[in-house]
């Protein structure tokens, strides 16, 4: 399989790179992926696929029917960019100030377009179907959930799903995967500490919301260090603090926002109560009051063990021995998780790191780039995963 699939996928390299650079130069934010979606839809239609547009607002779905009836596997790519200014000095850097593909979704989209072309023109499945899901709004808006609500996993019913994410921390030519919980649930918190304003020279006549807030922030870390099993993982990070108007005025209130990351679904359910208990205790003890919002974001990815084994076996065959490995879960969030809570799925990392090509900057960095030699490897992996899954069912 290695020679056949890799050789054929490599023939698509120039096209895939051209797509990726076009998308990279023309990034579109969440639910604004109109140009990207149009180009994807035109490509899928040119391949003779059954194409649906406007799924999940700006999503595109292509369906490839095999020669004989059978199960359906979905392959997914996200399409949206980030509100980051591209600082690279390349011929394909973003042409839109303040918008950039800093998370590799341009690569994901191009890879899946290549897989659609490979499976429709080079090696069509003998039986079963492949559903190509081009999803909007992974970064902001939960596009996966919106597409599911629009029926993306039905007609035909999806039996399994696979997806990838380019990753600069993995060298080009390799992939990594996680069995079970793959990524953390990512939740949002907003806290308002309400004191009583006054003159900075007379703090005893006021309730200093800044000092109360400092105690709240410190106390929240007690949850992670002393209230949660050390074998579980939780991250509570306060990302913004807004309060005060002058150096000689005691601020009447301070507002905080942050994120809570958990791997254990049961622990996730406990976090709102644990956090509010700390906030309530500290503010009451110091004479302040509070407002608290806990907004659940993306759930954790739950990778199916059999699907992960399929990915690893496929990597051995396509990339060669020693090019795959199992790794620890990530505390990052990813809305591919919504699919894995409905159907068996596997989400893996495709290495794009290459120090010689300066492609080791982390995700969401203004200098982020990918080693384009990895793009046909992604095409080969997704195509082979689909073929292997359908041949085994």
48 and 165 inside one domain: yes
Is there a single domain that holds both residue 146 and residue 229?
no
Among 87, 70, 80, which Cα is nearest to 106's? 80
Whole-angstrom distance, CA of residue 137 vs CA of residue 141: 5
Q: 361 phi and psi, to 5 degrees? A: -65, 145
Q: How far is CA 368 from CA 16, 240, 317, 371, in A?
A: 18, 24, 30, 10
pLDDT tens digits along 336-384:
999 999 999 999 999 999 999 999 999 999 999 999 999 999 999 999 9
CA atoms within 13 A on the CB side of 75: 30
Q: Of 243, 268, 296, which residue sits at a domain end?
A: 296
175 & 35 share domain: yes
Write out the H or E segment, with its range, that includes residue 316: helix 305-318
**DSSP H helical segments within 85-193, as ranges?**
105-117, 143-149
159 and 292 part of one domain: no
Based on the fold, state whether residues 270 and 150 are members of the same structural domain: no
d(CA 64, CA 51): 9
> pLDDT of 241-287, one tens digit each?
999 999 999 999 999 999 999 999 999 999 999 999 999 999 999 99
Q: Which residues are catalytic?
A: 80, 138
Q: What separation, in Å, do the N-terminal and C-terminal C-alpha atoms of the chain show? A: 18
Looking at the fold, whether 140 and 18 belong to one and the same domain comes out as: yes
Kind plus residue range of the DSSP H or E element containing 345 = strand 345-353
Same domain, 152 and 85: yes
pTM over 0.75: yes
The CATH number that applies at residue 49 is 3.40.630.10
At residue 393, the pLDDT reads 80
Of 144, 137, 76, 136, nearest to 111 by C-alpha is 76
Each residue of 305-318: pLDDT tens digit?
999 999 999 999 99
Task: Provide the number of structural domains found in the chain.
Answer: 2
Do both 267 and 380 map to the same domain? no
Reported as a single tens digit per residue, the pLDDT across 73-114 is 999 999 999 999 999 999 999 999 999 999 999 999 999 999
Considering the domain architecture, whether residues 277 and 326 belong to the same structural domain is answered as: no
The answer to whether residue 2 scores a pLDDT higher than 80 is no
Residues 12 and 87 in one domain: yes
Q: Are residues 14 and 28 in the same domain?
A: yes
Mind listing the pLDDT tens digit for each residue in 154-171?
999 999 999 999 999 999
Q: Give the end of a domain, one of 245, 268, 296.
A: 296
Res. 330: pLDDT tops 90: yes
Tokens 């109109």, residue located: 34
Here the CATH number for the domain that contains residue 270 is 3.30.70.360
From 296, 324, 356, the end of a domain falls on 296
Show the domain range for 189. Answer: 185-296
Query: Within this chain, do residues 149 and 203 fall inside the same structural domain, yes or no?
Result: no
């Amino acid at each position: 399989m290695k020679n056949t699939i890799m050789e054929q996928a490599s023939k698509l390299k120039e096209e895939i790179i051209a797509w990726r650079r076009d998308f990279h130069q023309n990034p579109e934010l969440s639910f604004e992926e109109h140009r990207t979606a149009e180009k994807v839809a035109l490509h899928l239609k040119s391949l003779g696929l059954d194409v649906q547009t406007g799924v999940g607002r700006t999503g595109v779905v292509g369906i490839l029917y095999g020669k004989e009836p059978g199960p359906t596997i979905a392959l997914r790519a996200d399409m949206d960019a980030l509100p980051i200014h591209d600082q690279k000095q390349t011929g394909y850097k973003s042409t839109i100030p303040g918008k950039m593909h800093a998370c590799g979704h341009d690569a994901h989209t191009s890879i899946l377009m290549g897989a659609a072309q490979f499976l429709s023109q080079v090696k069509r499945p003998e039986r079963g179907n492949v559903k190509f899901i081009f999803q909007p709004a992974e970064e902001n808006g939960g596009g996966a959930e919106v597409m599911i609500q629009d029926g993306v996993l039905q007609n035909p019913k999806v039996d399994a799903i696979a997806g990838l994410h380019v990753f600069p921390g993995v060298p080009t030519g390799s992939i990594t995967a996680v069995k079970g919980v793959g990524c953390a649930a990512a939740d949002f918190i907003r806290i308002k500490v309400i004191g009583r304003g006054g003159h900075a020279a007379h703090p005893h006549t006021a309730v200093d919301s800044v000092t109360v807030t400092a105690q709240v922030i410190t106390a929240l870390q007690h949850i992670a260090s002393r209230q949660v099993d050390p074998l579980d993982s939780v991250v509570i990070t306060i990302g913004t603090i807004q309060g005060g108007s002058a150096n000689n005025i005691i601020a009447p209130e301070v507002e905080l926002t942050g994120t809570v990351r958990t791997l254990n679904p049961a622990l996730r359910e406990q976090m709102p109560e644990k956090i509010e208990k700390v906030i309530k205790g500290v503010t009451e003890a110091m004479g302040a009051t509070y407002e608290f919002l806990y907004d659940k974001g993306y759930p954790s990815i739950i990778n199916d063990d059999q699907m992960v084994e399929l990915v690893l076996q496929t990597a051995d065959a396509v990339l060669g021995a020693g090019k795959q490995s199992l790794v620890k879960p990530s505390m990052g969030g990813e809305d591919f998780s919504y699919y894995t809570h409905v159907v068996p799925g596997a989400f893996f990392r495709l290495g794009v790191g290459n120090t010689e090509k300066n492609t080791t900057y982390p995700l969401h960095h203004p200098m982020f780039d990918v080693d384009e030699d990895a793009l046909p490897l992604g095409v080969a992996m997704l195509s082979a995963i689909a073929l292997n899954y359908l041949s085994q069912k």
